[in-house]
Amino acid sequence: MATSALSPASVPFGRVAVVGAGAWGTALALTALRAGRAASLWAREDHVVAAVAASRRNPFLTVPVDLPAALTVSGDLGAVVGGADLVLLVTPSQHLRAMARRCAPLLGSGVPVVVCAKGVEGDSGALMSDVVAAELPGHPLAVLSGPTFAAEVALDLPTAVTVATAGGGAFGPEHLAARIAVTFASSTFRPYLSDDVVGVEIGGAVKNVIAIACGIAAGRGLGSNARAALITRGLAELTRLGVALGARPETLGGLAGVGDLVLTCSSEQSRNFSFGKALGEGRAPQRSDDGPVVEGAVNAASVGALSRRLGIPMPICAGVEAILGGAAIDEIMAGLMVGDLRPEALTAENAVRIANPASTDR
Ligand SMILES: NC(=O)c1ccc[n+]([C@@H]2O[C@H](COP(=O)([O-])OP(=O)(O)OC[C@H]3O[C@@H](n4cnc5c(N)ncnc54)[C@H](O)[C@@H]3O)[C@@H](O)[C@H]2O)c1
Ligand SMILES: O=P(O)(O)OC[C@H](O)CO
């Protein structure tokens, strides 16, 4: 069993329940098991429960990893979350509120909940942590995010993440983020701690939309320079949105911002990048409600609505939203290259300045 070098004085949570047996929930359940915890996984689909029972494989996981017998996979939500002392919510963002609501009467009193979905709620523009706080009052909250292809985590390849909890203060051994970190830490899975929930969440939500833009550019054959520009100016967009919502710019320079942007915007392993690439090539991307989630395709609209409500210019995200609404790709991509020439704005100071709604910075 791997041991943690991080916060050794923290007591890990012993029984971890994971709600959502997609690729990421399954990979996180495996990570908990590898770190020496008991783990159980709730699957929404009967066919997933049946496949695991028959072959110890989950069809949502695209790599051939056998799930150990010690991992309980069940469709009985109460049985999965009832005895847990830590619960991870890993459903797609647009279903997170409904799942949190279903969990409410089933969770033990005061059991901490970790948000692992990446997105902004459509109608409300709420961050996932706010959604869960509203549905599960009295349960301490954390967010786990960062550059993490589930397949690589399932294969036990080295990965670093950020675990964020609100409230600031020193990360002493009793701190929730430290306890969550030590629950999952191993020689191949390294959590870092943060008290900037908003920054961590905005990074994870917006990078999916930027990854679609990068995929579109790749599909259109626009080259590596364009991709680097989209990643960097995408970082400016998610930084200014995060700052407007109270995030610290340096959080967006970390794993949950730059780290996840670099990963998702430069690999065909990313569902968001691949979705964009298909669009850019003029193909209709394959998507279904029961298939792999493409969060950016849903979140382009919710991020767009939020940015407009706050008056934050996010032209790349707006371009993706427009393309998904039927706008001509070439016109939108060309539109990103025009406008007043201005100083590049990415530093903390500038991020605050350009969070000014009067700015039209691109
Ligand atoms: N896959 C990754 O590499 C990865 C990594 C980090 C974060 N995430 C995030 O984790 C979240 C889950 O993604 P995933 O990749 O595990 O999913 P997935 O694409 O592997 O599987 C789809 C999931 O959606 C669930 N689902 C479909 N309809 C639902 C409904 N009505 N209610 C509840 N659940 C429903 C399915 O049960 C399944 O668990 C997303 O927010 C994603 O951005 C994914
Ligand atoms: O495959 P994607 O595009 O959903 O990205 C998965 C993870 O969010 C990468 O960190």
Tell whether the model's pLDDT for residue 348 goes beyond 50.
no
Question: Could you identify the atom of ligand 2 that is nearest to the CA of residue 273?
Answer: 3
Domain that holds residue 241: 202-354
CA dist 180 and 162 (Å) reads: 11
Whether 63 and 133 share a structural domain: yes
Sheet with 189-194: strands ordered across: 72-74, 38-42, 15-19, 86-89, 113-115, 141-145, 159-164, 189-194
Q: How far is CA 103 from the centre of its chain?
A: 20
What pLDDT shows up at residue 96? 98
The domain boundary, picked from 195, 210, 245, lies at 195
Please check whether residues 189 and 260 belong to one and the same domain. Answer: no
Q: How far is CA 135 from the centre of its chain?
A: 19
Residue 68 predicted with pLDDT over 70: yes
Domain-located, residue 8: no
Considering the domain boundaries, does residue 1 fall inside one?
no
| pLDDT tens profile 118-177 | 999 998 999 999 999 999 999 999 999 999 999 999 999 999 999 999 987 788 888 999
- Give the 3-state secondary structure of residue 162: strand
> What's the CATH number where 312 sits?
1.10.1040.10
* 56 and 122 assigned to the same domain: yes
Catalytic residue flag (residue 277) = no
Distances (CA, A) of 40 to 50, 66, 281, 317: 15, 15, 41, 37
Residue 18: pLDDT over 90: yes
Residue 347 confidence class, pLDDT cut points 50, 70, 90:
very low
90 with 148, same domain: the answer is yes
- Tokens 């569902």 sit on residue: 271
- Looking at the domain assignment, is residue 360 inside a domain? no
Residue that is last in its domain, among 195, 229, 262: 195
Bridge partners (DSSP) listed for residue 18: 41, 88
Q: For atom 35 of ligand 1, which residue has the closest CA? A: 91
pTM (two decimals): 0.95
Examine the domain organization and report whether 171 and 56 are in the same domain. yes
Domain final residue, candidates 171, 195, 219:
195
Give the C-alpha separation, 191 to 175, whole Å.
Answer: 14
Give the residue from 116, 338, 73 showing the smallest Cα distance to 205. Answer: 116
Tell me, yes or no, whether 268 and 250 share the same domain.
yes
Same domain, 251 and 171: no
Tell whether the model's pLDDT for residue 70 goes beyond 70: yes
Take atom 34 of ligand 1 and give the residue whose Cα is closest.
91
ipTM score above 0.90: yes
Q: Kindly give the number of the ligand 1 atom that is closest to the alpha carbon of 99.
A: 33
Atom of ligand 1 nearest to the CA of 118: 41
In this structure, the residues whose C-beta lies within 6 A of any atom of ligand 1 are 20-25, 44-45, 60, 90-93, 95, 99, 116-119, 148-150, 289, 292-293, 295
Comparison of pLDDT for 126 and 341, the residue scoring more: 126
Are residues 281 and 298 part of one domain?
yes
Q: Which of 179, 207, 220, 240 is catalytic?
A: 207
Please provide the average confidence, as pLDDT, over all residues in the chain.
93
Q: What is the pLDDT of residue 359?
A: 54
State what percent of residues in the chain have pLDDT above 90.
86
